Amino acid sequence: VLNKTKEFDNAVKKVIRDVNLDNDIVVSVFETNIRVLGGLLGGHSVAIMLKEKGEVMQWYNGELLHMAKQLGYKLLPAFNTTSGLPYPRINLKFGLRSPEARTGTETETCTACAGTLILEFAALSRFTGASIFEEYARKALGFLWEKRQRSSNLVGVTINIHTGDWVRKDSGVGAGIDSYYEYLLKAYVLLGDDSFLERFNTHYD
């Protein structure tokens, strides 16, 4: 935090005081994961580190982690598909199925949207002891791996979340795919699971 510990302390207090995760709003599962859930988990990690140093954050009692867990459970219904790939959007208050949700009718998602969850979901599981988050993210990643095009060992851009069929088979390293590859390598670094490195290298080769 660039030694701005007092500013960080104040920012955490503001998040705890002002952020409401129960709003009637449709959000991107992908964006909410990497920005909001990831931000809460990163903030929690720094808060714990500063508290242990005894400088600031002595009042902190895991509030950001509690919010992260609350948000994680709000995202889980998105994975209720036959493939285990998540719906691209979810309503934070009403989920997917209720009339108020205004989402849940989508049939496809991009590879990055479904395959860029493992870092945050695994961290949430490790912090809280609730293994379900990591299990869901691993299942989605595994499904995409099994659906790779065997002639090239690459994945497509867009996939049907119910049938598992590729909607767009063209591949690349641009938008819609890029962070899927990125998270495979980073998952190996974070979790030490060789299978993620093997998948990354297979795609890379």
Instruction: Tell me what pLDDT residue 97 has.
Output: 78
152: pLDDT strictly greater than 90: yes
Mean pLDDT check: name the lowest of 1-5, 139-143, 195-199.
1-5
Give the pLDDT confidence of 30-83 residue by residue, as tens digits: 999 999 999 999 999 999 999 999 979 999 999 999 999 999 999 999 999 999
174: pLDDT strictly greater than 90: no
Cβ neighbours of residue 131 closer than 8 Å, sequence gap 6 or more: 125
**CA separation for the pair 136, 47 (Å, rounded):** 27
The total of structural domains in the chain comes to 1
Token readout for 52 is 């242990």
175: pLDDT strictly greater than 90: no
Token readout for 85 is 């790939």
Give the pLDDT confidence of 78-119 residue by residue, as tens digits: 999 999 999 999 999 999 978 888 988 899 999 999 999 999
- Which H, E and C letters describe 119-187, residue by residue? HHHHHHHHHHCCCHHHHHHHHHHHHHHHCCECCCCECCCEEECCCCCEEECCCCCCCCCHHHHHHHHHH
User: Where in the sequence is the domain holding 193, given as residue range(s)?
Assistant: 5-204
141: pLDDT strictly greater than 90: yes
Instruction: Tell me what pLDDT residue 104 has.
Output: 87
CATH of the domain at 73: 1.50.10.10
The arithmetic mean of pLDDT across residues 142-165, rounded, is 96
- Average confidence score pLDDT of the chain: 96
